[in-house]
Amino acid sequence: MRAIARALPALLGAAALIGSAVTAGALTTNTAAAPAADVPAVPLVRATPTKVMPLGDSITAGDVGTTASYRPDLWQLLKADGRPVDFVGSQTGGPANLMDPNHEGHGGWTISQIQANVVGWLNTYRPDVITLQIGTNDMYDDAGAGAAPGKLSTLIDTITSTLPNTRVFVSAIPQLAHADHYTRVAAFNYTIPGIVAGKVAAGKHVDYLDANSVLFQPYDFVDMWHPNYGAASKAAARWYAALTGLQVTRYEAEQTANATISGAPTKRTKIVSASGGAKVGYIDTPTSFVKFTFDVGAAGTYRIRARGANGIGTNCTHLVDANNGTPATMTYPSYSWDLLGTSAVDLDLKAGTNTVTFKKGECYTELDAIDVSLKPTA
């Protein structure tokens, strides 16, 4: 049993422990939409790191408390691939699992405020890629919301005329709880694909994604505006899919539709920093395991990325196998039991139904979810 006592995480009283996989791209079950461009925006091999500027408001900035950004988990996913990447911007901040804290997220800012400053930031940092999510603070009233599409279009034009070779990924914004705001957000989000399509038709390097349709009020939010840490990880998986061109599917370890657990004292624990509201902990004995069962369309080598919590103070591992084959070792850095990190292994899967099993390795790690795709080649 465990040699080091761990503190119990804060509980999320209403979190559901059932459901299906959360996809990292399109809304259809167990699939994800890759961007139209053939070349990944953040490639595996590059002479210098790809400079990525996360640009937006407080949902881009996040903080080290309750509200969260997609930036930590996006960085973790890119790092798990070994992609050379450098987040850039005039702002710094984020939790301990974000080793590259630079960004251009500005709490409370509107599209117009970003517009007034963006040329200076672009000329200073010269990003190769921009992840743009903005407009939430324009939704306060009908006048601001009504003007938001035109302002977003102008902002995109400013970015693409200042840095014509920079790729700009534009996301819809999260839905809000208040009825008036809900209507305004829905109307604004409806316009964004058309705005982006117009820029593409004009030869600009702009892509659309909806990073936030997997987030649900109030379950995934700490207030009307801001997603919690676990929910932000679901948005991060969609950003990752867009920037890499990979189809990625997320499976929650605690959801019985995706995984079975066995071996006392293994159990499911509710916690807001987990992407589905809970994680599987106490994988503490040789008979403890979490076994995922899912289908893939073709045989091949797949990348299995695991989101795990390790509060031991040193690296810990799981032994991970596909279809009871030879196990690989998944190594997790130690951040805390509430602050999760992403690690990856590559496993050969067969066409059709597969099992991927996580067993106890060295010391202890709790398991939140896995993200599955073909092994990246670019």
Q: What is the pLDDT of residues 249-261, one digit of tens each?
A: 999 999 999 999 9
pLDDT exceeds 90 at position 159: yes
Mean per-residue pLDDT over the chain, rounded: 89
pLDDT score at 373: 98
Residue with tokens 């209507």: 183
pLDDT score at 6: 28
More confident residue, 144 or 14: 144
Query: For residues 274 and 37, is the Cβ–Cβ distance under 8 A?
Result: no
Tokens of 352: 């059709």
pLDDT score at 21: 37
Q: Over range 212-221, report the average pLDDT.
A: 87
Q: What pLDDT digit, counting tens, does each position of 203-215 carry?
A: 999 999 999 998 8
pLDDT exceeds 70 at position 283: yes
pLDDT score at 221: 86
pLDDT score at 119: 98
What sign results for the dihedral spanned by CA atoms 93, 99, 104, 105? negative
pLDDT score at 66: 52
pLDDT exceeds 90 at position 22: no
Q: Over range 271-276, report the average pLDDT.
A: 92
More confident residue, 344 or 10: 344
Q: Over range 33-43, report the average pLDDT.
A: 68
Please state, in angstroms and rounded to a whole number, the distance separating the CA atoms of residues 113 and 110. 5
pLDDT exceeds 60 at position 25: no
Residue 226 pLDDT level (bands cut at 50, 70, 90): confident
Closest CA to 9 of 277, 342, 266: 277
Q: What pLDDT digit, counting tens, does each position of 80-119 carry?
A: 999 999 999 999 998 888 889 999 999 999 999 999 999 9
User: Residue 327: is the preceding peptide bond cis (ω within 30°)?
Assistant: no
Q: Over range 184-206, report the average pLDDT.
A: 97
Identify the bridge partners of residue 250 per DSSP, sorted by sequence position: 22, 371
Residue 7 pLDDT level (bands cut at 50, 70, 90): very low
186-217 burial, b if ≥16 CB within 10 A, otherwise e? Answer: eebbebbeebbeebeeeebbbbbbbbbbbbee
More confident residue, 19 or 239: 239
Residue 177 pLDDT level (bands cut at 50, 70, 90): confident
Q: Over range 319-346, report the average pLDDT.
A: 96
Q: How far is CA 166 from CA 118, 161, 194, 213, in A?
A: 14, 10, 20, 26
Tokens of 11: 């509980």
pLDDT exceeds 90 at position 264: no
pLDDT exceeds 70 at position 217: yes
pLDDT score at 32: 36
